[in-house]
Amino acid sequence: MTSVLDLAPVIPVVVIEDAADAVPLARALVAGGLPAIEVTLRTPAALDAIRAIAAEVPEATVGAGTVISTANVDAAVSAGSRFLVSPGWSERLLESMQGSGRPFLPGVSTVSEVVTLLERGVSEMKFFPAEAAGGTAYLKSIAGPLPQARFCPTGGISRMSAPAYLALPNVGCVGGTWMLPPDAIATKDWSRIESLATEASQLSAPQG
Active site residues: 38, 126
Q: Considering only CA atoms, which of 57, 17, 28, 41 is closest in space to residue 179? A: 28
Please name the helix (run of DSSP H) or strand (run of DSSP E) that holds residue 151, with its range, or none: strand 150-153
Residues 75, 68: Cα–Cα separation, whole Å: 12
DSSP-assigned letters across all residues of 75-120: HHHHHT-S-EE-SS--HHHHHHHHTTTS-EE-EE-SHHHHHHHHHT
Separation of alpha carbons 177 and 172, rounded Å: 17
Could you give the residue ranges of the DSSP H alpha helices within the chain? 22-31, 46-56, 70-79, 91-98, 111-119, 135-143, 162-166, 182-186, 190-201
Cβ–Cβ < 8 Å for 194, 33: no
Residue type present at position 16: I
- Name which of 159, 154, 134, 136 is nearest 15 in CA terms: 154
